[in-house]
């Protein structure tokens, strides 16, 4: 067994884990979502993609690159931003205190824009609830949509995604782990995949 | 982190974490809605046994920007004048619901006393205790210095320290908690500190501190410091003559217009001037220097709010 083999996931995750989306699956899914976003918006006018740290931001960048490829008039700088939701979370009293990440809003602001929030996994919906609160403090978008790579269910709030990479029915005891080359390099080997760990 | 009492025992990692969180808090200050809901429903009490303008309003603004409720307590006009003790005052504030107590006291160690005893369970922030420490002032100075240092080097300040920076701190080191807190913190962050003062205004045992001592301001400025921090001459703490006259102090240790132009002549265009305030214009700093583009005094004040937001956020969020 060669531990440097990037296809061999068992070296970095537990024995009970299984890969549900490989790197190329993610690429395909993001291309589809990028086109869905253009379609839903009837073009790229007034479009802003806001990634939620940590993994939502690189996903928003990847989506932005695809949208820019489909429409060369798009300026990537004014299309993609980052929205930190740490200070808007409802669990700040519990767990360890988190260090907020920077919020970067494109220069044109959010007023009257069509904002697409981008995150890796949609689970309880609490992160998105926090993101909606954070958005309200920064501007007044015309429409807010939600794009996620994986929807694993178990919502605790009335929130649903407009664009979903993969609907993934899970048990509460399972963990969904999204690993991207931008954020989760291990031993210098780029990984891009979605794995499910644990479960009964 | 449960309390913030001094910078002496603040680790490099904790200091950088506070400065990095400050970076994000400062960004909130530039937004239209300068408010975060992070501490909604929490109560912060400011307990001030000594007068203060900027520190108290800075903490109050910080707590309010995080949506906390603030109870302001000033010893003047309170039951302290009827003989109420620190313990009773603090316990009263906690009974009212304070989860963090920001204390300024004339006695060195008052904040430690509040934190180490079982009088109250609230988080304690030292906002200046006697001639001991003033950690949030040192943190806001370090944050201001880091912004400057990163700009000079053209890097993103987040995560960086002050390695290689030369900071000259001038004036009443003996009575200055700001000087002490700054020395420990700047040392932790890798900066080199030089104290410049009349020998009478240096504490006993300063030879063991991790700094260089000089009695001559011009000599210290000739070394080309990256930042000069002027300390306030604390007339209210001086019950004896520490220097012959204010005119002589001003001439030898004041940052006057001549020293300001000397910086220009030496080509030190990146040297900045800090002052913790309130400034005695004409004594330790001339109006020309205080109002020059090198002076970052107001930047320090606005950074103070961001630093205090970061400290209150880190103390009041998460389990302890």
Q: What is the tens place of the pLDDT at every residue in A1-58?
A: 333 434 444 444 566 789 999 999 999 999 999 999 999 999 999 999 999 999 999 9
- CA distance linking residue B98 with residue B44, whole number of Å: 5
Residues of B with CB under 8 A from a CB of A: 17, 20-21, 23-24, 27, 31-33, 35-39, 66, 158, 313-314, 317-319
Write out pLDDT tens, residues B95-126.
999 999 999 999 999 999 999 999 999 999 99
Q: Would you call B317 and A88 a contact, using CB atoms and an 8 Å cutoff?
A: no
First to last CA, chain B: 8
Q: State the count of interchain CB pairs (< 8 A) between A and B.
A: 48
- CA distance linking residue B184 with residue B203, whole number of Å: 15
- CA distance linking residue B234 with residue B231, whole number of Å: 9
Residue A199's pLDDT band (cuts 50, 70, 90):
low
Say how many CA atoms lie within 13 Å of A156 toward its Cβ. Answer: 9
Interface test with A, best of B16, B21, B35, B37 (most A CBs within 10 A): B37
Given a contact cutoff of 8 angstroms between Cβ atoms, the answer to whether B278 and B232 are in contact is yes
User: Per the structure block, which two tokens stand in for B315?
Assistant: 């103390």
Rg of chain B over CA atoms, in angstroms? 19
Say how many CA atoms lie within 13 Å of A74 toward its Cβ. Answer: 21
Among partner residues A97, A101, A138, which is closest to B318 by beta-carbon distance?
A: A97
Domain A25-171's class? alpha beta
Residues of B whose CB is below 8 A from A133: 37
Given a contact cutoff of 8 angstroms between Cβ atoms, the answer to whether B196 and B223 are in contact is no
Exposed/middle/buried for A91, CB within 10 Å: 0-12, 13-18, 19+?
exposed
Domain boundaries along the sequence of chain A: 25-171
pLDDT at A43: 95
Residues of A whose CB is below 8 A from B37: 87-88, 133
pTM: 0.91
Spatial CB neighbours of B280, under 8 Å, sequence gap ≥ 6 = B232, B233
User: Per the structure block, which two tokens stand in for B12?
Assistant: 């490099």
> Cis omega (within 30 of 0) on the bond before A129?
no
Measure in Å the smallest separation between the Cα of B35 and chain A Cα atoms. 8
Q: What percent of chain A has pLDDT over 90?
A: 78
Measure in Å the smallest separation between the Cα of A94 and chain B Cα atoms. 5
Greater confidence (B140 vs A91) lies with B140
Please state whether beta strands B69-74 and B272-274 pair in parallel, antiparallel, or not at all (unpaired). Answer: unpaired
Greater confidence (A198 vs B19) lies with B19
Residues of A whose CB is below 8 A from B67: none
Sheet holding A143-151, edge to edge: A80-82, A47-51, A114-122, A143-151, A163-167
Greater confidence (B269 vs A8) lies with B269
């Amino acid at each position: 067994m060669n531990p440097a083999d990037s296809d061999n996931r068992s070296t970095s995750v537990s024995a009970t884990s299984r890969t549900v989306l490989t790197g190329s699956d993610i690429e395909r899914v993001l291309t589809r979502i990028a086109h869905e976003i253009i379609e839903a918006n009837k073009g790229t006018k007034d479009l802003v993609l806001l990634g939620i740290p940590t993994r939502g931001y690189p996903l928003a960048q990847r989506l932005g690159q695809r949208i820019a490829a489909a429409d060369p008039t798009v300026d990537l700088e004014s299309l993609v931003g980052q929205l930190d939701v740490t200070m808007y979370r409802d669990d700040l009293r519990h767990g360890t205190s988190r260090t907020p990440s920077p919020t970067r809003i494109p220069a044109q602001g959010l007023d009257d824009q069509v904002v697409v929030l981008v995150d890796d996994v949609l689970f309880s919906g609490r992160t998105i609830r926090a993101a909606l609160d954070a958005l309200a403090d920064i501007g007044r978008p015309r429409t807010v949509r939600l794009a996620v790579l994986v929807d694993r269910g178990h919502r605790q709030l009335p929130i649903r995604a407009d664009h979903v990479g993969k609907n993934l029915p899970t048990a509460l005891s399972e963990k969904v782990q999204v690993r991207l080359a931008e954020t989760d390099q291990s031993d210098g080997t780029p990984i891009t995949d979605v794995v499910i760990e644990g479960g009964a | 982190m449960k309390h913030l009492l001094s910078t002496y025992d603040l680790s490099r990692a904790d200091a950088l974490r506070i400065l990095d969180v400050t970076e994000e808090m400062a960004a909130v200050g530039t937004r239209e809605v300068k408010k975060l809901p992070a501490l909604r429903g929490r109560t912060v009490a400011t307990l001030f046994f000594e007068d203060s303008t900027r520190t108290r309003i800075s903490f109050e603004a910080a707590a309010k920007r995080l949506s906390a409720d603030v109870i302001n307590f000033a010893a003047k006009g309170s039951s302290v004048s009827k003989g109420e003790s620190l313990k009773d005052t603090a316990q009263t504030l906690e009974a009212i619901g304070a989860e963090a107590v920001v204390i300024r006291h004339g006695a060195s160690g008052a904040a430690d006393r509040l934190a180490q005893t079982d009088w109250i369970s609230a988080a304690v922030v030292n906002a200046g205790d006697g001639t001991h420490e003033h950690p949030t002032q040192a943190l806001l100075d370090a944050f201001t210095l880091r912004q400057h240092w990163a700009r000079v080097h053209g890097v993103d300040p987040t995560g960086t320290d002050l390695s290689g920076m030369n900071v000259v701190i001038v004036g009443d080191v003996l009575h200055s908690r700001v000087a002490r807190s700054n020395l420990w913190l700047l040392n932790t962050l890798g900066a080199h500190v030089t104290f410049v003062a009349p020998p009478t205004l240096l504490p006993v045992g300063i030879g063991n501190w991790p700094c260089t001592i000089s009695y001559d301001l011009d000599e210290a400025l000739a070394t080309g410091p990256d930042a000069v921090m002027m300390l306030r001459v604390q007339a209210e703490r001086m019950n004896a003559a520490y220097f012959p006259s204010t005119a002589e102090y001003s001439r030898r240790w004041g940052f006057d217009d001549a020293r300001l132009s000397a910086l220009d002549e030496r080509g030190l265009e990146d040297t900045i001037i800090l002052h913790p305030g309130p400034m005695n214009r004409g004594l330790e700093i001339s109006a020309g220097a205080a109002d020059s583009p090198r002076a970052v005094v107001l930047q320090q004040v606005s950074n103070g709010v961001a630093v205090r937001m970061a400290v209150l956020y880190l103390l009041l969020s998460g389990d302890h």
